[in-house]
Amino acid sequence: MAKRSPAVHAKTRRRLPVGAEVTPEGVHFRVWAPGKTKVELLLEEGSSASPGPQIIALKAERNGYHSAATDLARAGTLYRFRLDGSDRLLPDPASRFQPNGPFGASMVVDPGQFSWSDQSWPGVSLPGQVIYEMHIGTFTPQGSWEAASAELPALKELGVTLLELMPVADFPGRFGWGYDGVNLFAPSRLYGRPDDLQRFVDRAHALGLGVILDVVYNHLGPSGNFLGEFSRHYFSERYRTDWGEALNFDGDQAAPVREFFIANAGYWIDEFHFDGLRIDATQDIFDASPRHLLIDIAQRVRQAGGKRKTLLIAENEAQQVQLIRPVKEGGFGLDALWNDDFHHSAMVALTGHNEAYYTDYLARPQEFVSLAKYAFLYQGQHYRWQGKRRGTPTFGLPRAAFINYLQNHDQIANSGQGLRCHGLTTPGRYRALTALLLLGPGTPMLFQGQEFAATTPFFYFADHPEEVAVPIQRGRTEFLRQFRSLAIPDVQARLPDPGNPATFVSCRLDRMDRQRHAPLYALHRDLLTLRHTDPVFRRVSEMEIDGAVLGEECFVLRYFAGAGEDRLLVVNLGRDLHLDPAPEPLLAPPQQRLWAILWSSEDPHYLGNGTAPLDSEENWIIPGHAAVVLYPIDAVEIDSGSTPPAI
């Protein structure tokens, strides 16, 4: 094996602080390995400009960094590192691609080789977005970027505006959710090459679709993680996450660790043109520094976006709105938060069950009125399930900053059998709550296949070695025991094995469901058309909204548009309701006008039973298991049998 001393270019301009980067002179390599006296780069035989393998010694820099530049490497070169003469060959912690997975060699990638066509793309801002969460491995039978690209026009036609991709950072095995990533700069080889991901984003932008990426900055996966061999300072002994070792953002030698993750956030925006990030489980990103890591991540994302607008969404179980308040007001400067309160109330309404973490939700009409007005239900009240207070006040924050959903990857899988919520309730209730989701003032999110009532489940799946897979399956089973209905031995015995390939394959969407369930697909499409085109609903997140309880399971939301153009959304999750009298001011039409039906979940096109006028000479008669949108028209239009505007 040949050994060559590199020509180190001290003034090499790098995009990232670590990793392999193509330069005019060759490739520049840099890695953080404090405490290591000897760091060597090994170029694999046949992948470099030299016919044989090469060993290149890296030069030690300050603060534990080591670097070298060489003209023997190029885009496509496979390489690894060796530390202090060890026999172990390690992948680059900042590898841009692992063609053979986390245990294989890293590959030099030149991001400048891809020709982008989205120069005029403005990026995305929060108002008006409709989010679609997707897992590339199960979104199509092929599970590839190329196959997913072919489905983008259908999502555009549906009315989706923003794709949210579950994590794609490389992880071991043949399949997984992506939350056990170990190569945070390397798009998973399971879905294609890095330029395939670039092509996917470029295609989405050409169609007018934004794309954000789910990233995990609270832990690393249990298998294939080699960061600790470069330095134990990557991890903290002060904290513990729900999934293993916490990362060191505030301890000894935390600065390079922070730099690594901050650079990663900007990398996805810069090199792949993502429009932002969804940051997983921010409550487990522990940082007692004067300036929290998330503030720096937000700043780097904005810088990387340049003139393109970017979006930062946080998952935060504790519902801490500090994350989305401006930095100058003591916040972290993110844009939006997932809203579990909406999901939990909706699921109790759909299923009738409020066990485990649904305990503090009763799905009463007032909950839905309060959700529409204030976003979070819990803003500091005592939370019985956790035995402590939960949440923070949302007053003064825009409603669009709260992401509402009936389904997401976690919540479907947590049903035990991976069932979509349309299979857990009655058709009428499902249609009614879908209307509340898609016409409500928060930012709505759909999970892949929700738009056509997918018959395929979505389980938790992960392909790990047995020594890792067994405790993961045991932990998953134990987690689900919090649900009384899932703690029964017969049910536990039927829980799917996350490591079984059949579990993964069963989750792949069946596109024929779009035709089989055409009425439900039409329901979602029509509601999103109404949200995008109706002069009131397209401004829903910024207008005044009030609501009232009309019955045990019935409520009304009024959207105050001014000039006599208000809208009513009447939702009845119970039996037919006859209001006579009807002493509720929100039901009164604008002066000299009457209410007419603009849209109904009971439309026969959606397999409903039809909807008679709600406000009549018999006073208000509200159909059960239904949602109805009313708009004001002149009385003469009622007499002439006028029809509502076409959706």
Burial of 272: CB neighbours in 10 Å, binned 0-12, 13-18, 19+ = buried
Tell me the per-residue pLDDT of 262-294, one tens digit each, with 9 for 90 and over: 999 999 999 999 999 999 999 999 999 999 999
Domains of the chain: 2-113 (2.60.40.10), 131-217+266-459+507-527 (3.20.20.80), 543-639 (2.60.40.1180)
Tell me the per-residue pLDDT of 188-200, one tens digit each, with 9 for 90 and over: 999 999 999 999 9
Confidence label for 251 from pLDDT (cuts 50, 70 and 90): very high
355 is catalytic: no
Sign of CA dihedral 116, 112, 184, 216: negative
315 is catalytic: yes
Average pLDDT, the chain: 94
Cα separation, 44 vs 125, in Å, equals 45
Q: Residue 215: what pLDDT? A: 98
Residue 383 pairs in a beta bridge with 388
Tell me the per-residue pLDDT of 304-340, one tens digit each, with 9 for 90 and over: 999 999 999 999 999 999 999 999 999 999 999 999 9
pTM: 0.95
Model confidence at 92: pLDDT above 60 = yes
User: Would you list the DSSP string of 368-415?
Assistant: HHHHHHHS-S-SSEEETTTTEEE----TTS-GGGEEEES--HHHHHTT
Tell me the per-residue pLDDT of 442-461, one tens digit each, with 9 for 90 and over: 999 999 999 999 999 999 99
When pLDDT is averaged across residues 471-491 and rounded to a whole number, the result is 81
Catalytic residue, chosen from 214, 315, 553, 566, is: 315
When pLDDT is averaged across residues 371-388 and rounded to a whole number, the result is 97
Distances (CA, A) of 3 to 50, 88, 91: 11, 18, 19
Tell me the per-residue pLDDT of 121-169, one tens digit each, with 9 for 90 and over: 999 999 999 999 999 999 999 999 999 999 999 999 999 999 999 999 9
> Hey, what are 77's tokens?
């070169």
Tell me the per-residue pLDDT of 571-617, one tens digit each, with 9 for 90 and over: 999 999 999 999 999 999 999 999 999 999 999 999 999 999 999 99
Cα separation, 401 vs 443, in Å, equals 7
DSSP β-ladder status, 577-579 and 619-622: antiparallel
Catalytic residue, chosen from 92, 180, 270, 280, is: 280
Burial of 607: CB neighbours in 10 Å, binned 0-12, 13-18, 19+ = middle
When pLDDT is averaged across residues 98-117 and rounded to a whole number, the result is 97
Cα-to-chain-centroid distance, residue 466? 29
Confidence label for 487 from pLDDT (cuts 50, 70 and 90): confident
Residue with tokens 């061999």: 229
Q: Residue 265: what pLDDT? A: 98
Model confidence at 1: pLDDT above 60 = no
Q: What is the DSSP letter of 13?
A: -
Cα separation, 277 vs 398, in Å, equals 19
Confidence label for 507 from pLDDT (cuts 50, 70 and 90): very high
Model confidence at 254: pLDDT above 90 = yes
Cα separation, 232 vs 226, in Å, equals 10
Model confidence at 627: pLDDT above 90 = yes
Give every CB contact of residue 314 below 8 A, 6+ residues apart in sequence.
278, 279, 282, 294, 323, 324, 334, 336, 337, 338
First-to-last alpha carbon distance for the chain, in angstroms, is 70
∠ at Cα 135 (225, 503), nearest 5°? 80
